[in-house]
Amino acid sequence: MKSICVFLTVALALILFACQPVLFTEPQPQNVAATDAFPARLQGKYLNPTDSSLLQITASSMILSYHYDEKIHVSQMDSTEQLIGDTLFDMLTAKGKLIRIEGDSIVKPVSGTDTLFAIDAKHVLKKFKGYYFLNTSDSPGNWQVQKLELAKGQLTLSSLNTKEDLDQLVEITEYPQDTTAYVFTPSKKQFKKFVHNQGFRDSEVFYKIRE
């Protein structure tokens, strides 16, 4: 019985970790002044070769533009959509878009833009040891942190989404392990150690477009 309880506890912890981000009580690193703009060397357009999305960095924001083909079965069409020939109509807007028909499926283009980061009170940018850290808060005392690095035209945006990162933060900060909530308050020294020990393992790579 005891072994079953231990197994269920571990399984629950893993599920909860997979569903929630690693958070910090304040922008990281501590005791480092915020930067009021992205430097000129970072500004520009970057291409993700994996999905052809385009990331644009301005003095105050990071905006992602994407375009891809989505394949769905005709039974999965939205109730507000109507297929006439090779055109998919949105009955709410009376607009149509050309699609491809492949057997019982349709392939439709999807495009849009997302603002990933915009410097303000809830989006704090800090520079530390050659990296830029993007701190984003959606509630007091809960900050998500990403790492941004540019080297030889390669821009790497890294997040905290792996169990290895979590285990390392728990060890470095001596955080209680018998908990399902992970909100860290590392010292500047501890955060530096985490970064230098390959923290932020979940990375996405973009390449700068020369204009």
Same domain as 175, residue 77: no
Give the span between the Cα atoms of 195 and 131, in whole angstroms. 10
Domain membership of residue 4 (yes or no) is no
Domain membership of residue 49 (yes or no) is yes
- Read off the pLDDT of each residue in 10-33 and give the average, rounded to a whole number: 70
Domain membership of residue 3 (yes or no) is no
Same domain as 101, residue 32: no
Q: How many C-beta atoms lie closer than 10 Å to residue 159's C-beta?
A: 18
Give the span between the Cα atoms of 193 and 124, in whole angstroms. 21
Same domain as 132, residue 149: yes
- Read off the pLDDT of each residue in 184-189 and give the average, rounded to a whole number: 95
> Would the pLDDT of 178 be above 80?
no
Same domain as 72, residue 26: no
- Read off the pLDDT of each residue in 94-122 and give the average, rounded to a whole number: 91
Domain membership of residue 33 (yes or no) is yes
Q: What is the pTM of this model?
A: 0.78
> Would the pLDDT of 73 be above 50?
yes
Same domain as 109, residue 39: no
Contact 81, 73 (CB under 8 A): no
Same domain as 72, residue 56: no
Same domain as 123, residue 109: no
Q: Write down the mean pLDDT value for the chain.
A: 87
Residues 6+ apart with CB under 8 A from 180: 12, 13, 16
Same domain as 125, residue 108: no
Domain membership of residue 2 (yes or no) is no
Q: How many domains does the chain have?
A: 2
Give residue 111's pLDDT band: very low, low, confident or very high (50, 70, 90).
confident
Write out the residue range of the structural domain in which residue 77 sits.
67-113
Domain membership of residue 11 (yes or no) is no
Q: Which pLDDT score is estimated for 180?
A: 62
Q: How many C-beta atoms lie closer than 10 Å to residue 30's C-beta?
A: 16
pLDDT, tens digit, 9 for 90 and up, residues 118-160:
999 999 999 999 999 999 998 999 999 999 999 999 999 999 9
